Amino acid sequence: MENDVGEVLISQEQIREKTKELGRRIAQDYEGKNPLLICVLKGGLMFLADLMREIHMPLEIDFMAVSSYGDATESSGVVRILMDLERNIRGRHVLIVEDIIDTGRTLNYIIENLHTRGPASIKVCTLLDKPARRLLDIPLDYVGFEIPDRFVIGYGLDFGEIYRNLPFVGVLKPELYS
């Protein structure tokens, strides 16, 4: 698997340090609020697991699974909810935890959907931000790393459901998906 990586963009240690920093900021910002972290599956799972260990306060988690990619390397623009939340979010302080924000279409859909459920607030935490591909202007409250417009894998990000378990974020060799 690691032979398929053309370049390591963000190391395991860089991710660890940034996650600690984000956890401290989130704990300060949500002091006394018992936030509900909503992980967008599957890509956000590794980030959520590490991030929640760095938020030293009471919190709850829930999960959503959405699809806009299928097996492609670019979003289709059609977003479908594959798995919805178990918890009622009315009056809750919600923090959406994402692996990567690309065009913004998926995140925009999720935010609009969650707003209809009456939360007290909605904020976004993403490990990776790829602004070069952004089609919709969406405020991101907590950003780990801004990355260039390259196809990345690892640390939850996949290509055809493979590579999620790499401990770093790397660039997939183009000949493997072209």
CB distance 110 to 64 below 8 Å: yes
Give the rounded distance of the alpha carbon of 76 from its chain centre. Answer: 18
Bridge-based pairing state of the strands 169-172 and 5-10:
antiparallel
Amino acid at 3: N
In a domain, 99, yes or no: yes
Strand partners, 101: 129
State the CB neighbour count (10 A cutoff) for residue 46. 21
* 92 pLDDT more than 90: yes
- Helix, strand or coil, per DSSP, at residue 69: coil
In a domain, 175, yes or no: no
The whole-number average pLDDT for the span 125-129 is 98
Q: Which of 50, 99, 102, 158 is catalytic?
A: 102
Which pLDDT score, from 0 to 100, does residue 71 have? 53
- Helix, strand or coil, per DSSP, at residue 80: strand
Q: What is the mean pLDDT of the chain?
A: 94
Read off the CATH number of the domain in which 34 is found: 3.40.50.2020
What does pTM read for this prediction?
A: 0.93
Active-site residue, 102 included? yes
In a domain, 176, yes or no: no
Range of the domain at 35: 12-147
Number of domains comprising the chain: 1
Chain segment 31-90, per-residue pLDDT in tens: 999 999 999 999 999 999 999 999 999 999 999 999 875 555 555 567 889 999 999 999
